[in-house]
């Protein structure tokens, strides 16, 4: 059985005299047949590497008593990742913020393998710390409120009113732990733009694996760390 792939090939591009403009002179179509047959030589080459990789990826590194899932305003997976990241930062950050979209899978109740962590965090994102002033921090809180909640650790309440900022004066600096992806403005977190990124020295995925290997059993319960209160005005 053969699959047939039809490829549209642009055959000729003409460079106009002294300009940088191109125009299509003609097009043509070509049918290319692709076989489904497996190359046994390639299988022989990659098989030993795949076997070793499977052994490493299937290593059990921890056990969870409950499902770790995403959610809004909070989820057990987001709480878990934020809290372990804060412990990795070891007092160098005041708050941890991630995004639900960056956590790509869930972890079901039972044994946790390295493969599970790679499914949750397949990216090479590094942990970094940024300094925000009071106004920038307020922009962060408004962003999280507008989104209906995002993974967060280190603070207990997010609301539309100003009471959460009462403990900060105008000269206060809030140290925010996040990933370099978000620190570069990913997921429209523009309040992080042009900030110095202080590297923690570990990727988020590696931080999760490290924490799991150092823990025998984890049991994450929602603690209502995010309360979104509508403005009465």
List the domains of the chain with CATH numbers. 61-218 (3.90.780.10)
The pLDDT mean for the chain works out to 83
Q: Would you say 154 and 89 are in contact if contact means Cβ atoms under 8 Å apart? A: no
Say whether pLDDT at 11 is over 70: no
pLDDT in tens, 102-160: 999 999 999 999 999 999 999 999 999 999 998 999 899 899 999 999 999 986 545 44
User: What pTM was computed for the model?
Assistant: 0.76
Say whether pLDDT at 2 is over 60: no
Phi first, then psi: give them for residue 167, nearest 5 degrees: -85, -5
Residue identified by tokens 């959460």 is 164
pLDDT in tens, 156-208: 545 444 445 555 666 789 999 999 999 999 999 999 999 999 999 999 999 99
pLDDT interval class at 42 (50, 70, 90): confident
Go through the chain and tell me how many residues it has: 233
Nearest to 132 by CA among 68, 81, 196, 82: 196
pLDDT of residue 155: 64
pLDDT of residue 17: 42
pLDDT interval class at 4 (50, 70, 90): very low
Secondary structure letter of residue 88 according to DSSP: H
């Amino acid at each position: 059985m053969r699959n047939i792939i039809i490829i549209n090939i642009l055959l000729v591009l003409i460079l106009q005299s002294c300009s940088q403009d191109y125009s299509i002179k003609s097009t043509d179509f070509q049918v290319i047949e692709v076989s489904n047959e497996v190359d046994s030589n390639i299988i022989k080459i990659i098989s030993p590497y795949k076997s070793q990789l499977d052994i490493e990826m299937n290593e059990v590194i921890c056990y969870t008593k409950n499902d770790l899932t995403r959610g809004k305003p909070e989820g057990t997976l987001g709480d878990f990742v934020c809290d372990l990241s804060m412990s990795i930062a070891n007092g160098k950050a005041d708050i941890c913020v991630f995004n639900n979209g960056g956590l790509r899978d869930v972890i079901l109740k039972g044994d946790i393998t390295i493969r599970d962590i790679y499914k949750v965090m397949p990216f090479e994102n590094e942990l970094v710390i940024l300094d925000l002033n009071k106004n920038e921090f307020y922009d962060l809180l408004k962003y999280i409120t507008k989104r209906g909640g995002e993974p967060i650790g280190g603070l207990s309440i997010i609301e539309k009113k100003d009471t959460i900022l009462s403990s900060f004066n105008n000269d206060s600096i809030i140290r925010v732990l996040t990933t370099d992806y978000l620190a570069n403005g990913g997921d429209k977190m523009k309040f992080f733009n042009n900030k110095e990124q202080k590297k923690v020295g570990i990727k988020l995925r590696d931080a999760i694996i490290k924490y799991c290997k150092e823990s025998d059993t984890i049991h994450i319960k929602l603690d209502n760390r995010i309360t979104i209160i509508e403005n009465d005005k």
